[in-house]
Structure 1
Amino acid sequence: MANGYYLFSASVVERSKQSAVAMSAYRSDESLYSERDGLTKKYKAHSVKPESFILKPSHAPDWTLDREKLWNSVEKHDTTEKAQIARNVLLGLPNNFSHEQQLELTKEFVQENFIDEGMVADVSIHRDEENNPHAHILLTMREIDEEGKWKNISKRMPKLDKEGNQVLKENGKPKTVSVKLNDWHKTETLVKWRSNWAEKLNEKSKEFEKDTTYSHESYEKQGKEIKPTNRLTREEYQFEEKVKAQHEKENTPYEPTTFYAKKNAEIKKYNEKFANVIHLEEYRTDKNLVQKIDKFTKQNVTSAESMKATKLLVNRVKGYVDFGVAQKLYNEFSDPRNKWNLKLEKEKSYLASERKVYSDLIDKFNEKPSYVEQFGYSQEGFKEEVKKDILKMKERETKFKAEFEKFDELRMASSISLKHQQDLLNTEFSIVYNAKYLNDFSYEEKHFAMDLLRKHNIILPKDLIKEEFTLREKEYDNTANQIPVWKQAKDTLTSIGIYERSIKRINRSRPEDLKDLKTEVVKLHTFKELKANYEKYINDIEPIINQQVSEIGFKKKQLESLTIQAKVAVLEEHSKLSETEKEQLNLKEFVSDVQEKFEEQAEQANEKKMQSSGNEKDIYQSISNNSQNISDGLFSVLNQLQHANDLSDSAEKGKGKKPFRRKMSDGREL
């Protein structure tokens, strides 16, 4: 059975802070006159008219069914500033109950717990929000007699000592104490009401054949790890709704503003960790089992190599290393597009280029000493000057070597640690299940099963491991944080474009126009080498790109019409779609939208190019060319799609359709 949403809250209404007449007017959507301040209380009507009624004890006079008379009488009787004039109760109603069922539930609970005890109850059921029906109950703090007089809440009684003797004041007069005449104020009574509400919910849920159960106990007492959220006041709720609407209007992400809304966001984030395991609570086990497993595995001898590797990774992540962390680090260091690895690759290329430049300079100097002057050296002091520069280069090489060794050490450590964690995982899994089942599950599935045990004390039946793992595979997918191939390709293509422009700029410059010819020549060699390496990487991953574009619906011939840049653009735009949009994708409309976007982008870049000069002009020219190439390729695909549609229509209807015409950004056909 599903766990239903339980809400019961109670508070006291103080005369100094609130008006019972005003509260009743607001909740019932009625206009009520307040004798206390001479004002008529009237508020903006709810979007759905409240279902309001008053319940009273059988002996109470009929005028108590008139809410204006009822609450004015209450406020006229209790006039002190500290007076408690009403009790406010809020009930959350099941949204899977019909309106009639909600009304029956509310009336029975109010009658049994409040009316039969002598209170008068002013009830308003609100259904403004479809998924949040609730009942506001305003209760009298005093009983009323048959003549319509409010009874005393307490009375003075003699104060007695432990032996039962009257306690006297200093002046000899008897001491008295105030004694409540009912138990409505007691914590035990509040707990009883909360329990009774849960019982009534379960009783009616069973009667109305609803597959839902309710509990008044805290989540902790129920053995649940999730936390309850805080109910917002109406003012807080309305304010948050305004903030949400403003963010939607501005197309910006919503962030909670009020204190309890922020707390609820934190609680929601916390509860998300347990959302997928609530239905598995029946498989909870003894918490000591985890301790027994830890004790057993610690007895296993760990190699010095594994200990060293794990310690390195612990320092790297500043925390505990298990199979999941080890696998994630292994994937990170094995990725050729790892940012650290790319940085080292660039530094390596730069140093190699620098060594070549110095070697060439020395050779050229031996042939023609004056040649080195254009690089900032003097003929007379060249040998000493270049020696100093080479020493500086060697210092950088030493630093590079140290950093590379550190990277390589961590890369090797991630491999060693992963192997160690796999062995450890197999040992733990064998303890809980059986060694003969080790090969039946992947390491990810075994890690998932052991993670459930460690975090939630749940031993999942062997037959359910694969099924439950599939439901939350993304959570345990340690490749999820890896950059998508299209994004890697896009970043690489951007770098290639930058290198191309830089190479062209240096090549077309005269030596005397360059501030530091030596540095520029080093850069030139570096950029050429990196560009070649990046182009090789693009060639290596293009088959993967082709496969992913094909999965969207592109045919082989259509792929041939697209450059690698166009394929990457298609994958990027496709990644922005929701899962529903992807399932319902109309390929022709999708391609048309992307084509128009890049057509417009090419025109905008071209306009900016006309207003620019120098390096900025080259950048806009590159953007314009790239966008136009993407647009042209997609336009060719559109024609192929249109042609395929024409052939299909001709086969069905015996006639063709109007050919696809290319349109300008303003909608006119070309």
Structure 2
Amino acid sequence: MENGYYMLRVSHINRSSRNIIACASYRSDEKLFSERTQENIQFRKHSVKPESMILTPAHAPEWTKDRASLWNAVDKIESQNAKTKAPRLATEVLISLPNDIDRDVQTELAKDFVEEEFVSKGMIADVCIHRDDLNNPHAHILLTIRPINEDGTWGNKTKTRTRYDENGVAVLNENGNKVREQIRFAEMDLNVLRKKWEEKLNEYAVREQSNRVYDARSFKDQGRKEMAQIHLTREEYRLEKREQKRCEKAGIEYKPITFYGQLNQDIIDYNEGLINDVIIDEKQIKRQNAFNKAVEYANSVVQINQKAQTVLDNRYKHSTGYIEAKETINNTHDKASTYGRKINNNILKAELKTKYYEELIDKYKADKHSVKEYGFNPDTFVETINEKITKLNNEKSNFFKQKEVQQTIYQSAKSIYLDNISINNEIVEIMYPRNFEKFNNDEKAFIVNEALKGNFIETAYVEKAFRDSADIPDNLKKRDQYLKASKDIFFADRVIKNNQNEISDNAIENVLINKIFIDSKIEELKELEVFINDELARTLPLHHAKLIDDLDVYSKSQLLTKIDSIENKDDIKSVDTVVRNHISDHSNVYHSKSYQEHYGTANSHKGIVNNLLNSLTMYANNEYIESNSNNKKKKKKKWNERSYNR
């Protein structure tokens, strides 16, 4: 006979921190409508569709067997009768199922246990069996915490009854009256429940002729030499998964970094006979457990956006928090990330093409031969332009889908970022009640992560420790935007140069569209010129100031890019050489003017270019008006404050 894997855990779902509809949706793989948030909730499908069922007492009305109706009704009754800010909505029991028996038997076992222990006592059970991992089949059991009446109304969570002693005799108080006590409807004795599950597992093991024996007791109580591993919290698991990915990417061996992750590794080594003993630091364990309670409290008072959390978790394929949220914000920002700018640039160029095609059609209607000047054959113009419009519409549809995905990811990351700021505030206030306000958001996230690793830092050393070893992403700066805008211009300029000597319809289109595109990016740089000038003033020696006074904003941004490539920026001679060569290379003839003037747009093209510019004004330039007004207010602020508001 061999020892079978035993697992039974009980947790509670509170309304302040969890959406019960989201919980039911995730466990069942169903799209469910949440009446509280007025949205359909659906998560990424499991690799193996869960087997789900709702088990109800015989008297329960039919609507309780509908998942959305059931849990919306639960959410509603608790919101109406709540006496606290965090009313309990449901109890969840998580059980592991034997992996050496058939699926039908696994289902029968789970149903038998649930009906016997919960449904028979009046609870409604939403059971979902997950089999994504063949070695780890398990069942999530969501239980109602109020009795359901035959008329479809909910009963009370608690009931009052006479207390009896072990002999079944009513207990009396000092006045001779019977003692009354309140009993929770859904209250369960965990030790009794664990024993019941052990008995049920062994009953089915015998019936199915399995050679496994199950025991609910701890390894120590069983007299086993092996030590049981410690269950990691969500936050500890997140840090370990992040470290695993880092090590895998770097090609180095992964070693646990959290306190309990390291302790579990010692336990694994001990159980495998690799070490003779596991050193348990009781003082550190006590401190770590107190910290974990602070984390648990913070998670109970801050309501995480579950839909946003799922989007971010799916993106990383593991549990995510502050670091991942901030990292994603940086990587998906509209103006300061490569990903966000690429999508926006594609949409801008697509809209310009739409206006361009409309202008061409108008010209063709007025004089069909006029389109020759744009590289078209008048005889095939209608067919050609229709093909272009069809292709463009397909591209635009794809671009807008990409934009929707990008915005979903960005907004989800922003929501989780803000939620984690609130969680970290709660935790750090408990850890440093007198000094918590002196730490910024990044430092608080660092403090929490270090505590998960077992490192509790004294207040005076937090700033230095953060500066020396924090792996939290930097805040986005305006610099990230203007360097990318400068790069946009550089590549658009290259397209123009590669096409300007051709007379095909595609070449002329590329030249005209990119000319307008460049002008829009020049406008973007002008809105950021104060930041560009500030960085040049900080970067360059004083005697270079006059040399760059006559440079236009694009040339200045390109200069910053070249200075970035200098290995030793303290080498004044190297910086001086780069500056003088740049000024010499950039004659500055065309960057201070529009690209239409620089490239000498033919008179016949000027009308269409002007029309495109007019249409662009509404589409592109408006987005800078608000930032322009904000920039004027911020000009006097210090450089280190000039980062994007999150």
| TM bucket normalised to smaller | 0.3 to 0.5
The two structures have a TM-score, normalised by structure 1, of: 0.40
The two structures have a TM-score, normalised by structure 2, of: 0.41
Higher relative contact order (CA 8 A, sep 6+): 2
